[in-house]
Structure 1
Amino acid sequence: MTAALKPLARPASLHRSVQDAIRAFILDNTLRAGDALPPETDLARQLGVSRNSVREAVKAMESLGILETRRGSGLYVRAFSFAPLLENLSYGLLFDLRELAELLDIRRVLETGLIAAAMAAMPPAALAALGRVVAEMGARADQGENFPDEDRRFHQVLFEPLGNRTLLTLLDVFWLTYREATRHVDMGNPDPVLTYRDHAAIHAAVAAADVEGARAALDQHYAWIARRLELAQAQLRPDEEGPPGAAPVAG
């Protein structure tokens, strides 16, 4: 038997109470990803609130990745994903370069700590794909061009063999946040040749099955990025607490 929704009192933040009631309904009925919820009109009637209150709560839960509305079909439980949380995290990190530097430390530890497992799991096709990405980096570097998309792809290919989607999303959060931060704060233009050499060194160690060499190359790569972040922080005014959109002050 389906557990019923309970009518709500009318607190100041009604839509939050509606969200809590819908969450409880999902749990009480052990609904899974893809399972349907009652229509909004039924939810409103059972809760004793207006349809607008239900619609507001549903929109909030959609933004959190809990529910999804399918046009012409109805309201459904959405498969769990860290993506909404991490999207908010990447936005919040733009407001403090110190926090971005802390995220870099986390990524550095993750990649250097997991590189051995990634290398052990890497099939020949993935190693070949990594080599192609490095070759593309080299071609762009020879033209004096930066290659952020290839950089992003390199680290994705490097750790895809682990089959850990959450890890890949975390790696992407740093990449997206760092790239956005460079649009607001002068971090100095990276030398594409040096960036290429960093990645070529990582690839060479992976291809040679040299775990310690790969770990050292990754560590050196992130040490260089950390230094750029330190210099960018030093350029900002000491009392600046807002987003990095303000013009940096020369050091």
Structure 2
Amino acid sequence: MSGPERRKGGEGKAGREMSIEPIKSTRIYEEIVRQIKTMISEGRLNSGDQLPPERDLAEKFVVSRTSVREALRALESLGLVEIRPGEGTFVREVSVEALIEPLAMVMFSQREAIGELFEARRLLEPAIAALAARRATPEEIHEMERILEEQAREIAAGRTGLPQDASFHAAIASAAHNQAITRLVHGIMDLLGQSREESLNTPGRPMRSHQDHRRVLEAIRQRDERAAEQAMRDHVSAVEALVVGADGLGKRPR
């Protein structure tokens, strides 16, 4: 890649002001998301600014283009950027809810809060799955299927399928067609990123999680709200038992 090409990708306000740290975290795409969210919240990236091309971001972060792609997808699902095919990735007008997420990350970083976050998941996600069974469009159901096919390939290759896990839950939240719910789920899943990764690193867990997802999707496809609700409740409870039950995190006095 020539020098002029690199300069072209970084032209404009966004290219000049991005101060990027090389990635050292094992959860690479999450760290990319964190840095870009920080740039937006601090005003170093503003609404309408264009991010450098994927390949340039990969060079700056010293990561693979696959990691950059996953990060951009996550940022788009959070409503922070818009990916325009053939044009690039642009910062969207940011909501207050999206900007306060870094503060929420700090508030809930303590391990004892994980139990409370799973409690929130148990209350929210089964109801969201039921709404998705009622409201999902054929296109949204097709997208859920595509995500699960990709997750199956990742698992078959010996990986956890964590990015696809997050994408599947985000797709269900979007199919509920309620922006408040979508924001809540994104926030909770973001906060539980590390514990979800630990869960999926348990031998055999990625495939069991994929099978759970299949049951949820089938209920949504059949427009069976009660079955979708129950399948999601079973799935969240299984993950909670693995993460919280293993060491008693987040248990409340009775």
The answer to whether TM tops 0.5 is yes
Q: Is the 8 A contact 2:130 2:220 kept in 1?
A: no
Q: 2:108 aligns with which of 75, 93, 98?
A: 93
Matched residue, 1:189: 202
Distance in 2, Cα, partners of 1:232 & 1:104 = 14
State whether residues 47 and 94 of structure 2, in contact with CA within 8 Å, keep that contact through their aligned partners in structure 1: no
Distance 2:172 2:243 in 1: 24
Give the Å deviation of 1:144: 2.8
Unaligned runs of 5+ in 1: 1-61, 72-77, 237-251
Q: Residues 120 and 91 of structure 1: is their aligned pair in 2 closer, same or farther, counting only changes over 3 Å?
A: same
Given candidates 152, 169, 174, the residue that maps to 2:183 is 169
Deviation for aligned residue 1:87 = 2.4
- The structure whose Rg is larger is 1
Task: Give the structure-2-normalised TM-score.
Answer: 0.56
1:220 equivalent in alignment to 2:220: no
Distance 1:188 1:114, change over 3 A: closer
Partner of 1:82, secondary structure, is: helix
Say yes or no: does 1:211 pair with 2:220: no
Contact residue 86 and residue 173 of structure 1 kept, 8 A: yes
Tell me how far 1:219 sits from its aligned partner.
Answer: 0.6
Cα-to-partner distance string for 1:174-220 (whole Å, 9 max, x where unaligned): 2222223467x799625211111010111111112221211111011
Identity %: 18
Alpha carbons 1:187, 1:232 under 8 Å: kept: no
Unaligned runs of 5+ residues in structure 2 are: 1-39, 50-92
Equivalents in 2 of 1:201, 1:79: separation in Å? Answer: 35
Q: TM-score, normalised by structure 1?
A: 0.56
Aligned-partner SS, 2:96: coil
Report which stretch shifted further, 215-224 or 87-96: 87-96
1:70–1:158 Cα change, 3 Å: closer
Matched, 1:179 2:193: yes
Alpha carbons of 1:153 and 1:79: their partners in 2 closer, same or farther (altered >3 Å)? closer
Counterpart Cα distance in 2 of 1:154 and 1:222: 13
Structure 1 segments, 4+ long, off by >4 Å, are: 62-65, 68-71, 185-188
Q: Which residue of 1 aligns with 2:157?
A: 143
Match of 2:99 in 1: 84
Distance change in 2, residues 1:203/1:162 (3 Å): closer
Q: Partner amino acid for 2:221?
A: A
1:223 Cα offset (Å): 0.6
Tell me which residue corresponds to 1:42: none
Query: Could you report, residue by residue, the CA deviation over 1:16-54 in whole angstroms, capped at 9, with x for unpaired residues?
Result: xxxxxxxxxxxxxxxxxxxxxxxxxxxxxxxxxxxxxxx
SS in structure 2 at match of 1:233: coil
Give the Å deviation of 1:90.
2.4
Q: How many residues align?
A: 165
